[in-house]
Amino acid sequence: MEKTDACIVQRDFTVLLEVGHPGFDEARAQLGMYAELVKTPAAFHTYRITALSLWNAAALGWSADQVIASLESVSRWNVPAALIQDIRRIVDQYGKLKLQPEAGLGKMRLVSDDERLLDELSGMKTISAFRMERIDPHELVLGGEQRGLLKRELTRLGYPVLDYAGYRNGTNLPFGWREDTSADSGKFELRPYQRDAVNAFEGSEGMGGSGLLVLPCGAGKTVIGLAVLERLQCECLILTSNTTSVRQWMEELQNKTTITSEQIGEYSGQKKQVRPVTVATYQILTHRKSKDADFTHIKLLSERQWGLIIYDEVHLLPAPVFRATADIQATRRLGLTATLVREDGCEQDVFSLIGPKLYDMPWKELEQQGWIADVQCQEIRVPFSTEWRSSYLEAEVKHQFRIAAENPAKLAVIRKILERHQGLPSLVIGQYLNQLETIAREIDAPLISGTMSQQERVKWFAAFRRGEIKTIVVSKVANFAVDLPDAAVALEISGSFGSRQEEAQRLGRILRPKSGENKAYFYALVSEDSKEQEFALRRQMFLVEQGYEYEIVHELQ
């Protein structure tokens, strides 16, 4: 690797990347494979190397030697010897334990070449509770129903398991691709990176297993999910974030495959259809009549002989579903997401129970290839009026963020931006309904929020797609999968504190490729010298890691 000297690598697993260094872009690309961005001050970006970031790198094929060589290539000085030793130890822990199938009914074996490791683990209270039988110095036998919970606990202890215990095939569902009338060949074709993602999920044995495919919004993750299903030819349960997304999956299934509408079921708050391909919301899975009651619809996970479960927007997977996911380890699981960031700290559960990262396509790489739009990002610092600043300063600290977010001075900036991009399909996205209602009324645009019926939402989204309306105001429903391919301008006027996940989803609404220059515009309106400004830095962190730069202006240029 070419040496860049752009980083200061520290013993405490942090890496400081100098923003103005000529080797910044190269170093950032490398660090993104095995470290996490945690801070983005002006001069140096701070990355942290974690066990999970190293294990995900290992799952993508990185060895300890490759990680160390990369660090040495970007480091200004020698990489601390103790850090090198720790990286080797952590990466080597990935794959020390393997799950293998066992001939006995419903059994499997936990296998390791390291006899002492099995001795040590067997003596731990949390592991002995699984009552595994030691049949060999290098093997333990366990019941198949313990598979997920054991993997979760071993990951927590620092020993992620390579799961080779196999998967049920599920009920056969033969189907193919529909003809694509827009293609010269008449046949539907995957883009090269989509094909690579499907191949990564299949693995070297071509059987498919479980894991995560990470690609930006607008890259066609739904198509990738359909392509995995087409190769497996089995009944499938698809879990996604909301009813709008459910309908989009159903539409794509009917438009792109020969699966009939009678074979596709919707399982949501409105319908309870269980069919060979069933598309459900996460919310319905976590529904229960009272806090202490069982989850009413969790049986859907085992209702049929599913051969594949697809977790769309896996970063939004509710924590209560993890227990159920631990119980269905014999079913192949595919997680699709634009970001592995979770604000609840459950990344390790996603890793152990859904699977490791198998494919990761950098956002900027897809942009350079023309598959997603080139987005210009601006953070506009909006001053308070004298009166509003007084309200902000006199308020309790816990209320200051919202007061800053709802700064009325943002309305004038919104008008200027919409005037600048007159004619381009635009989204005004925010958090607080009172604020959104005022903005929608002032700019004469429809407001789409969670209080609106699904039927009404579909009507407005369709009108926007047809170009009948050029601007819509959208609440948190825009954080989830909403198919608005022509949206070219997004104005973020308020958000959920420092949610990196939300920022990525919102920018994702305008990433679909555009005709002509293939450009889109993302504006974050932030009250100047306020709590909102502090949280904006954190919100933008994931996108900065992907290579996006926010130009900060105090007046619309």
User: What type of residue sits at position 429?
Assistant: I
Q: Quick one: which of 324, 359, 326, 321 has its CA closest to 342? A: 321
CB atoms under 10 Å from CB of 525, counted, come to 25
- Check residue 505 and give its pLDDT: 87
Q: What are phi and psi of 242, to 5 degrees?
A: -160, 175
Q: How far apart are CA 490 and CA 263, in angstroms?
A: 37
Q: 3-state class of 234 per DSSP?
A: strand
Residues of the chain by 3-state class (helix, strand, coil), percent to 5: 40, 20, 40
CATH number, span 7-93: 3.30.70
As beta bridge partners, residue 99 has 110, 163
**Cβ contacts of 508 within 8 Å, gap of 6 or more:** 216, 217, 218, 338
Q: Are the beta carbons of 79 and 72 closer than 8 angstroms?
A: yes
> Tell me, what DSSP letter sits at residue 263?
G
Spatial separation of the C-alpha atoms in residues 409 and 189, rounded to whole Å: 48
pLDDT for the residue numbered 186: 64
Neighbouring-strand partners of residue 471:
426
pTM: 0.89
Residues 6+ apart with CB under 8 A from 411: 438, 439, 442
Smallest CA-to-CA distance from 496 within 542, 429, 431 is with: 431
Which string of DSSP letters, residue by residue, matches 319-383?
A: TTHHHHHHTTTTSEEEEEES----TTS-HHHIIIII--EEEE--HHHHHHTTSS-EEEEEEEEEP
Alpha helices by DSSP H, 286-432: 321-326, 347-349, 363-368, 386-394, 397-405, 410-420
Sheet of 44-48: strands edge to edge?
Answer: 7-9, 14-18, 44-48, 36-39
**Alpha carbon distance 425, 435 (integer Å):** 21
Amino acid identity of 198?
V
Q: Are strands 277-281 and 236-240 parallel, antiparallel or unpaired?
A: parallel
Q: Which residues of the chain have pLDDT under 50?
A: 206
**DSSP-derived 3-state class of residue 285:** helix
| Strands 14-18 and 7-9, bridge-based pairing | antiparallel
Rounded CA-CA distance 371/513 in Å is 6
To 5 degrees, how large is the angle CA 59–CA 60–CA 64?
75
Q: How far is it, in rounded angstroms, from Cα 127 to Cα 139?
A: 14
Q: Which CATH number fits domain 192-361: 1.10.240.10, 3.30.429.10, 3.40.50.300, 3.90.1150.10?
A: 3.40.50.300
Q: Alpha helix (H) ranges present in 61-191?
A: 64-74, 81-93, 115-122, 125-128, 147-156
Q: Nearest CA to 440 among 460, 421, 467?
A: 460
Cβ within 8 Å of residue 84, ≥6 positions away: 68
d(CA 270, CA 91): 46
Report which secondary-structure segment, H or E, holds 464: helix 454-465
pLDDT value at residue 557: 66
pLDDT in tens, 260-303: 999 999 998 889 999 999 999 998 888 888 877 888 888 888 88
Q: At 110, give phi and psi (nearest 5°).
A: -100, 120
State residue 501's pLDDT score.
Answer: 84
Instruction: Kindly give, in sequence order, each residue whose CB lies less than 8 Å from that of residue 348, ignoring residues fewer than 6 positions away.
Output: 52, 155, 156
- Angle 430-499-487 from CA coordinates, rounded to 5°: 45
Residue 281, exposed/middle/buried by CB under 10 A (0-12, 13-18, 19+)? buried
Q: Are 424 and 523 in contact (CB under 8 A)?
A: no
Residues contacting 388, CB < 8 A, separation 6+: 403, 407, 408, 409
Give me the amino acid identity at 464.
F
* 455 Cβ contact list (under 8 Å, min separation 6): none
Tell me which CATH code domain 372-553 carries.
3.40.50.300
For tokens 């949610």, the residue is: 499
Contact 529, 543 (CB under 8 A): no
